[in-house]
A and B are shown apart, each in its own frame.
Chain A
Amino acid sequence: MTTAPANQPLLEIRNLRIEFPTRRGILVAVDDISLHIDPGEILGVVGESGAGKSLTGAAVIGLLEPPGRIADGQIILEGGRIDNLPYEEMRKIRGRRIGAIFQDPLTSLNPLYSVSRQLVETIQTHLPLSERQARARALELLQEVGIPGAEERIDHYPHQFSGGMRQRVVIALALCAEPRLIIADEPTTALDVSIQAQIISLLKRLCKDHQTAVMLVTHDMGVIAEAADRVAVMYSGRIAEVGPVQDVVRRAKHPYTHGLMGSIPHIGHAVAKLTQIEGSMPRLQEIPPGCPFNPRCPEADGRCRAERPELQWIENTEVACHRFDAPEARSQAGD
């Protein structure tokens, strides 16, 4: 492993583009995304459901399901490109250097094998441990992710676990080789607040102690606010806004982020109807020209409908919105 210079990000995604070639033309699900995560950093990824968050994660660990494919761009892990590696080499990186927690706990677990067997096998693939040691480690991991009565339950099958317990088994699987980067795709959605707090502190501890980097995809703004250092907001396969968590959550700049934050229900003030962004995200076949958010945006003007906004620095955050363009550029295009 190359020792990276201190200022080098652990993971860098450059101009990533993911396509689905179909019979009726090519669908672009992720369109020109650039991101980086530093060692020891947690990058939160939020955004509309279907915005391409999971696909981005899948691309990083090289598990895009065909016909999906990386059409353009680079993925760089600790200074080396990994998007073009042959399958075998990628398989070695997976699990060892990148751990993945998938959104879908049932597909990551084999329903025919007991939980212990799956954990022990994974541990032995990556670490030189004996069967007995691996089992001890598996038990330790299950306890760490908070499975009650781990000794008794370790030999059970996935369907005998509740939704949240399965999710925790998946987390344990991802952590077993102490990877450098963890892609966590909604790791806590099936968990109650208390276990959630436990998992988050576990992730944070890994980041602090081992300089592990985490890409944390979630819908839970509370989790983001608590765990993430920076947040990227995605919409229609593009990044709408990215910056430090404080700025994005509390001083959202992009109109979509604004709407998103406004939709969060709060305990304490009862409302008959939650604020919602009217309309829905365009389907992949129908992404409008210009800014993809323009049909739903209260501030959209002619330029928004014609020209794609690029990310630009506004204070601490990067925002892709024409609202922040220099006034001259704006009026020119408005004519």
Chain B
Amino acid sequence: MTEAAQVPTEAAGADLLLRAHDLKRYFDVSPPFLNRVIERLPRAIVKAVDGVSFDIGRGETFSLVGESGCGKSTVARLVVGLYQPTAGGITFDGIDVAGQTAAEARQNVQSRMQMIFQDPYASLNPRWRVANIVAEPIRARGLLPSNREVKARVGELLTQVGLSPADSEKYPHEFSGGQRQRISIARALAGSPDFLVCDEPTSALDVSVQAQILNLMKELQRQYHLTYLFISHDLAVVYHVSTTVGVMYLGRLVEWAPTQTLFNQPRHPYTRMLLDAIPDLEMTGRQRIPVAGEVPSPINPPSGCPFHPRCPHADDRCRAEMPTAHATGDSHVACHAVDDGRLS
């Protein structure tokens, strides 16, 4: 892959761990061939991820936020190799892991990555006991020699996530949603990864367990220098855990910036709207402003800037031309209004 060779790994400093370069993933969701012919339906392609680039430094937490369906989970799946990218490259620790020729490289780095899935119900095998579920990464990689040690380690992991070693004899259906999510966190930690992809790891947890898990994740990050790709809808959680935040809209990153900058000085109109839509816990009576307008379909994305139908600052250029990301202070923003100085 020539493209991967073009990525200057040294440029971002020695501690770059993961780089995604112009990543794309399209899904063909066309109706069956016969229907297409008879009913004259067009082919339909969902551009779930459409040109996303980002860097994650070692020991950092990069968070992705954005509307449901904007492609966050797809990015996560591309990174861990569950999907092959339609185009673009991923390098992990300087190794190209996404190309056609990268299967072997993928094998080597796969053991250093783990993923926590979004749905706590579907992500545990219903026929397996918790002990075996949590032990799977350990066994798959032969990390511990004897069963006794595996068992001890499983007990330790379960305790770490706030369950009891005695729970290991149970089956997943005997647990509540939040308890299952903790099992899947324990499983992810069991493989002692360097890099963890967390797809909404705490959305099924109540705030007190969430606090425990987030503290645990931060603690582990400090101890083992873990790197996270973190996905969440809860902006307060994102604020709390991330070093850098990327905002996605319809398969693209529209803004990314260090956490403090993003929350204090959101630049892209969508980011601003997102922050305004956060529910108000203090009950000051502030009206929550949902992002206005229709959510566009990823099958027929709007021309020009995909956000223009909902954007209060859109002009003719926005409707015609796709904005590209430019650095503005700490942030990178893809918006004509910011480029043109119409929006600070």
Interface residues of A, Cβ cutoff 8 Å to B: 46-51, 54, 65, 103-107, 146, 148-149, 152-153, 155-156, 160-165, 167-168, 186, 189-198, 201, 219-223, 225-226, 246, 249-250, 259-260, 263-268, 270-277, 280, 283
Most buried by B among A54, A148, A168, A271: A148
Least Cβ–Cβ distance between B288 and chain A, in angstroms: 5
B residues in contact with A48, CB < 8 Å = 178, 206, 208-209
A317 to B199 Cα, complex, angstroms: 37
Q: From residue 282 to 323 of chain B, which have CB atoms closer than 8 A to chain A?
A: 283, 288, 290-291, 294-300
Q: Is A54 within 8 A of B176, CB to CB?
A: yes
Chain B residues touching A, range = 35 or more
Q: From residue 168 to 182 of chain B, which have CB atoms closer than 8 A to chain A?
A: 173, 175-179, 181
Closest to B204 in A: A189
Q: Is B103 an interface residue (CB 8 A)?
A: no
Using A152-B44, A160-B27, A190-B118 as known contacts, say yes or no to A263 and B66 having CB atoms under 8 A apart.
no
Least Cβ–Cβ distance between A260 and chain B, in angstroms: 5
A residues in contact with B263, CB < 8 Å = 267-268
Using A49-B176, A186-B204 as known contacts, say yes or no to A164 and B210 having CB atoms under 8 A apart.
no
Closest to A27 in B: B174
What secondary structure prevails in chain B residues at the interface with A? loop
A residues in contact with B206, CB < 8 Å = 46-49, 51, 219, 260
Q: Is B239 an interface residue (CB 8 A)?
A: yes
B residues in contact with A160, CB < 8 Å = 27, 29, 46
Sample of 10 further A-B pairs with CB below 8 A, known A160-B46, A219-B204: A104-B122, A153-B299, A161-B69, A162-B69, A196-B277, A263-B208, A266-B236, A271-B240, A276-B215, A280-B163
Closest to B288 in A: A197
Q: Is B22 an interface residue (CB 8 A)?
A: no
Q: Identify which of B66, B204, B239, B277 contacts A265 (C-beta below 8 A).
A: B239
For the complex of A and B, the 8 pairs showing the least CB-CB separation, nearest first, are A49-B178, A149-B297, A164-B68, A222-B279, A263-B211, A197-B290, A148-B295, A104-B121
Q: Is B167 an interface residue (CB 8 A)?
A: yes
Q: Is B280 an interface residue (CB 8 A)?
A: yes
Least Cβ–Cβ distance between B42 and chain A, in angstroms: 10
A155 to B44 Cα, complex, angstroms: 12
